[in-house]
Amino acid sequence: MPPALSEALSTPLVTLRETQAVAVSAADTHRLRNGRPLAPQVITGTVAAIDALAILATGLAASALADGTVARPLFGLVLIIGLALGMYALRWTGARQLNRLYKPTDGLLPLALAWAATAGSLVALLYLLGALDPPMTSWLAIWSLLALGALVAGRLATCLAVGTCQRAGRLTQAVAIVGTGPEGQRLLRRYRANPRDDRHVVGVYDDNRASHARFCVGYPIRGGLDDLLTEIREGRVDRVILAMPLSDDNHALAAALAKLSLAPVDVGISLDQVDIHRQGGGWREGAGDEPPVLDLLSHPLTGWRAIAKTVEDRVLAAIILVMISPIMLAIAVAIKLESKGPVLFKQKRHGYNNQLIEVYKFRSMYHHMADANAEKLAQRNDPRITRLGRILRRTSLDELPQFINVLRGEMSIVGPRPHAQSAKAGGLLYRDAVAHYDSRHRMKPGITGLAQVSGWRGETSTVEHIVKRVEHDLRYIETWTVLGDLKIIARTITSSIFTKNAY
């Protein structure tokens, strides 16, 4: 009997009740969670910041409550040493490990031991240096008690917040498995035998599945790769694991990677079929009975990078809106005086994860000639554009209302420009003109971007124009940094004034 068939026939039967439990669990996860799961490093990093703040704040407060006055140079030195020792001890005892944040009782003992070791080390150090005088002793005693209380209070509050996030599904990663063959069945059996709170298998996907099969090892088969992309677009999948044979002629594996590269999702391949003895490079060792996974594709913004991008957008957008509000008011009045119609022009465009968003712009065309779907792109001497509109479009002042989109979380200040649904280049829709066009939607669209400051803005009369735009957009996504965004914003100010390509 062929090995593949033998493997398939050896799959354990699953009762209807178990199958329904899997489906109900998936529905609950999708219903409860709002947004991507919180990255573990963000949670533990936030806890570390709270611990550091508690140690520093109580050290300063204790100096005001202590008897006598501690010499300032010595006070500052001991405070810094105590902070460094405390943070190291908390890490060494594992007090900040994620699995100890689910229950308060799991992390309080390591926390107390860490701070006791820190306080004891400070006392021993000062005793050896002969600096343990009454004022210093009083300060250390008060600091030790206050810091312990603040650390415990902070940890209890953190556990409460983590519990809330866990119940909301924000700590659970939604995982999709691609492959119903022997490799997929082995992986799914491992997952069923080793359940974890931070992982939930939403379903199995395979273009080559048997048409009558509804379940694989008890997990629902939800369709093929196109169905998986739909699930990703709807925000129901965070990570995809390919459980497929590793071979040079595996066209299904290549096709899966090509499709998944268009979506903002982490993709890995199960190495259950490969003997892995050590960790290195992109290998991710499995926990417990899980197989190792090789990471192939990553979401462009995760963890602290996502937070940095969000803070950058919201803070800068709020500041800029306050600064330009007089200019926007003047433009709005001028538009109303020149021609009839609304001040703002709203147009549906594809945003992050290919979702439709409504983008705001100052109206630059006569209202009765407005082209909501951008069936015809603006050209030089376009009769639809008003006299004021020409100035607004040439200087990009018509884009200013999009800072409202940024504050609403629909756009970024810097990112790939959101294109109109019917926009064309050389007679072809953008998606048909560029093979990996949808890959640019793995990041929120921006008011400006690398393509715009590199000269690729304005009319797209040829396919080359949109190809170059997409090339710059993908380069931006792959190399994003906060500093890079600030440079693009600075270049945008000058390029908007001297551009020759916008009509």
pLDDT, residue 310, reads 93
Same domain? 115 vs 19: no
- Return the bridge partners of 223, or none: 205
Q: Worst-scoring range by mean pLDDT, 102-116, 198-212, 245-259, 362-376?
A: 362-376
Would you say residue 415 has pLDDT above 90? Answer: yes
CA distances from residue 114 to 85, 107, 304 in whole angstroms, order as listed: 9, 11, 26
Say whether pLDDT at 126 is over 70: yes
Same domain, 336 and 383: yes
For tokens 């793995």, what's the residue?
442
Instruction: Please state which of the ranges 123-132, 144-153, 205-214, 354-363 shows the lowest mean pLDDT.
Output: 205-214
Looking at per-residue pLDDT, the higher value among 487 and 19 belongs to 487
The per-residue pLDDT of the chain, averaged, comes to 83
Which residue is listed with tokens 């100052």? Answer: 362
Rg over alpha carbons for the chain, rounded to the nearest Å, is 29
Concatenating the DSSP letter of every residue in 81-141 gives HHHHHHHHHHHHTTTT-GGGSSSHHHHHHHHHHHHHHHHHHHHHHHHHHT---HHHHHHHH
Distance from C-alpha of 141 to C-alpha of 188, rounded to nearest angstrom: 55
Segment of 40-49, 211-220, 379-388 carrying the highest mean pLDDT: 40-49
Where residue 169 falls (left for φ over 0; alpha for ψ -120 to 50; beta otherwise) is left
Q: Classify residue 437 by its DSSP letter.
A: G
Average pLDDT over residues 129-158: 92
Q: Which residues pair with 203 in a beta bridge?
A: 176
Residue 410's pLDDT is what? 93
368-378 pLDDT, tens digit per residue, is: 776 665 556 66
If one compares 3 and 245, the residue with the highest pLDDT of the two is 245
**Number of domains comprising the chain:** 3
Domain-embedded: residue 383? yes
pLDDT at 195: 85
Task: Summarize the confidence of residues 76-86 as an average pLDDT.
Answer: 94
Do 254 and 397 fall into the same domain?
A: no
- What is the rounded distance in angstroms from the CA atom of residue 59 to the CA atom of residue 75? 9
Name which of 86-95, 114-123, 138-147, 416-425 the model is least confident about: 416-425
Q: Are residues 136 and 261 in the same domain?
A: no
User: Domain for residue 503, yes or no?
Assistant: no
466 or 49, which is more confident: 49
144 and 88 in a single domain? The answer is yes
Last residue of a domain, one of 248, 266, 297: 297
Residue 361 located in a structural domain:
yes
Give the per-residue pLDDT at 255: 86
Assess if residue 428 is contained within a domain: yes
Higher pLDDT, 425 or 301: 301
Domain that holds residue 79: 40-167
Between CA 438 and CA 350 the distance in angstroms is 10
Task: Work out the number of other CB atoms within 10 angstroms of the CB of residue 488.
Answer: 22
Cα–Cα separations (whole angstroms), residue 69 to 136, 139, 399 = 8, 9, 59
Task: Tell me, yes or no, whether 270 and 379 share the same domain.
Answer: no
User: How far is CA 419 from its chain centroid?
Assistant: 22
473 with 330, same domain: the answer is yes
The predicted-structure confidence for 255-293, as pLDDT tens digits, reads as follows 888 889 888 999 999 887 655 444 444 545 444 456 788
Domain membership of residue 102 (yes or no) is yes
As a whole number of angstroms, the distance between CA 98 and CA 162 comes to 9
Shared domain for 321 and 442, answered yes or no, is: yes
- Whichever domain contains 232, its CATH number is 3.40.50.720
Tell me which DSSP letter residue 38 carries. P
Whether residue 34 contacts residue 100, with contact meaning beta carbons closer than 8 Å, is answered with: no
Residue 350 inside a domain? The answer is yes
pLDDT for 29 beyond 50: no
Query: For residues 416 and 436, is the Cβ–Cβ distance under 8 A?
Result: no
C-alpha triplet 352, 357, 359: angle, nearest 5°: 115
pLDDT at site 5: 37
Q: How far is CA 7 from CA 4, 66, 208, 219, 241, in A?
A: 5, 72, 17, 17, 20
Query: Distances in Å between the alpha carbon of 161 and those of 30, 291, 302?
Result: 20, 31, 20
Letter string b/e over residues 443-465, b meaning 16 or more CB atoms within 10 A of that residue's CB: bbbbbbbbbbbbebbbebeebeb
Segment 159-170 mean pLDDT: 86
Distances (CA, A) of 478 to 299, 443, 450: 10, 10, 12
Contacts of 194 (CB under 8 A, 6+ apart): 287, 288, 289, 290
Q: How far apart are CA 393 and CA 439, in angstroms?
A: 27
Do 171 and 165 form a contact (C-beta atoms < 8 A)? yes
Task: State the virtual CA torsion across 118, 52, 480, 270 in degrees, nearest 10.
Answer: 50
Whole-angstrom Cα distance, residue 36 to residue 69?
A: 50
pLDDT value at position 8? Answer: 39
Out of 297, 326, 345, pick the residue that ends a domain.
297
Say whether pLDDT at 158 is over 80.
yes
Out of 39-43, 89-93, 457-461, the most confident range is 89-93
pLDDT in tens, 332-349: 999 999 888 899 988 889
Residues 134 and 69: their CA atoms lie apart, in Å, by 9
Where among 167, 196, 228 does a domain terminate?
A: 167
Going by C-alpha positions, the residue among 452, 458, 456 that lies closest to residue 491 is 452
Sequence-distant (6+) residues with CB within 8 A of 413 are: 312, 313, 316, 317, 320, 403, 406, 446, 447, 448, 485, 489
CA distance 160 to 102: 8
* pLDDT score of 21: 42
| 55 or 419: which leads in pLDDT | 55
CB proximity list for 104: less than 8 A, separation 6 or greater: 155, 156, 159
Taking residues 71-93, report their average pLDDT: 91
In a domain, 222, yes or no: yes
Beta-carbon count within 10 A of 328 CB: 17
Name the most confidently modeled range: 22-31, 252-261, 421-430: 252-261
Name the pLDDT band for 380 (thresholds 50, 70, 90). Answer: low
Residue 46 within a domain = yes
Bigger pLDDT: 429 vs 306: 306
Instruction: Kindly tell me if the per-residue pLDDT of 211 is higher than 70.
Output: no
Clarify whether residues 252 and 280 are in a common domain.
yes
**pLDDT, tens digit, 9 for 90 and up, residues 429-457:** 888 888 888 889 999 999 999 998 888 77
Are 320 and 254 members of one domain? Answer: no
SS3 14: coil
**DSSP three-state, residue 154:** helix
**Strands 356-362, 344-350: pairing kind:** antiparallel
Q: Write the pLDDT tens digit of every residue in 93-125.
A: 999 988 888 887 888 999 999 999 999 999 999
Same domain, 327 and 467: yes
- The helix/strand/coil state of 356 is strand
Segment 215-238 mean pLDDT: 90
Residue 86 pLDDT exceeds 50: yes
pLDDT for position 378: 62
Q: Do residue 350 and residue 473 come from a single domain?
A: yes
